[in-house]
Structure 1
Amino acid sequence: MNGIIIRVFAAGLFIAVAHALRCYKCDFGVGSLCLTGEMTCAAGEQCFSGKAEAVGFVPIKTKGCLKTDQCNKTSNTDIGSTNVTVYKGLKTCCNTDLCNAAPGASGLPLLPLLLASFTSLLMVSVAV
């Protein structure tokens, strides 16, 4: 009888450890617009929500999975080898399923708008 209890406990522990963390994913969002889906994190990763400002005033957001040692840190995103910072942002992590906020707008009609906005930002920052 004790062997059965131990096996059931071990199976439950294995299932709990093997459960992968699910997070919302948004590669690039501007303002409140973000094409959001879901993703599964690898071992050693947590969900994150990233907030930044491009060119000093355009709000940018990202979501997804991030290695735990990179959580809650501010980082710069530069253009190539020019050392021109496009944006500086903070990625805040959490560790429960879908904890990195509710999904944003979905659908492909916003993609061309986002790409055009990002291209404009890059052109402005290169020209400066």
Structure 2
Amino acid sequence: MGWIVFFILSLFFFSSVCYLECFRCDLGFWDACYTTETNCSRGELCYTGRGKAADSLDIKTLGCAKAEECNVETTLELFFNNNIFVMTKSCCDTPFCNSAQKIPIGTLFYLTLAVLTTRYTTKDLV
């Protein structure tokens, strides 16, 4: 009887400690993403999400996703101004398998500023 309790406790301990580690990026443009490391919840996989906004801007996200969210197209709203884009999450199941190029936060800020300035300047001219 004692070995059954030990077995159940060891399963609980190892299943609650061994979560998948992934990179996380809330929003990146093209292949540029400011990444951090994150631990997924039980049953989640690492993912790389790719989509296109404004018919020309490649969007990328990284993080953890449930298995049913993998390889499914989802429609998302960007910047709360009705820029809608479609994203597909590609999933993997090994630590940090959704690797991305790390860039300094300042570079990402200037890249984002340049993209938004170009977009709104072009929009005003049309």
Q: Could you tell me the TM-score, scaled by structure 1's length?
A: 0.73
- The answer as to whether partners of 1:75 and 1:89 remain within 8 angstroms in 2 is yes
Quick one: distance in 2 between partners of 1:92 and 1:32?
Answer: 15
Task: Give the equivalent residue in structure 1 for 2:68.
Answer: 69
Residues 1:97 and 2:101 aligned together: no
- The answer as to whether partners of 1:55 and 1:125 remain within 8 angstroms in 2 is no
Quick one: distance in 2 between partners of 1:13 and 1:93?
Answer: 26
Offset of residue 121 of structure 1? 7.2
Quick one: distance in 1 between partners of 2:119 and 2:68?
Answer: 29
SS in 2 for 1:34: coil
Offset of residue 11 of structure 1? 4.9
Task: Give the equivalent residue in structure 1 for 2:23.
Answer: 24
Offset of residue 40 of structure 1? 0.7
Change in 2 beyond 3 A, CA 1:39/1:32: same
Offset of residue 109 of structure 1? 2.0
Percent identity for Structure 1 against Structure 2: 29
Stretches of structure 1 that go unaligned for 5 or more consecutive residues are none
Task: Give the equivalent residue in structure 2 for 1:109.
Answer: 106
Tell me the C-alpha RMSD between the 2 structures. Answer: 2.8
Q: Could you tell me the TM-score, scaled by structure 2's length?
A: 0.74
Q: CA-to-partner distance for each residue in 1:103-128, whole Å, 9 max, x for gaps? A: 31232221322431453477479768
- 1:27-66 pair list within 5 angstroms: 27-66=26-65
Task: Give the equivalent residue in structure 2 for 1:14.
Answer: 12
Specify the code of the residue in structure 2 equivalent to 1:16. F
Stretches of structure 2 that go unaligned for 5 or more consecutive residues are none
Segment of structure 1 superposing worse, 21-30 or 65-74: 65-74
Instruction: Give the number of aligned pairs.
Output: 123
Quick one: distance in 2 between partners of 1:119 and 1:110?
Answer: 14
Change in 2 beyond 3 A, CA 1:77/1:122: farther
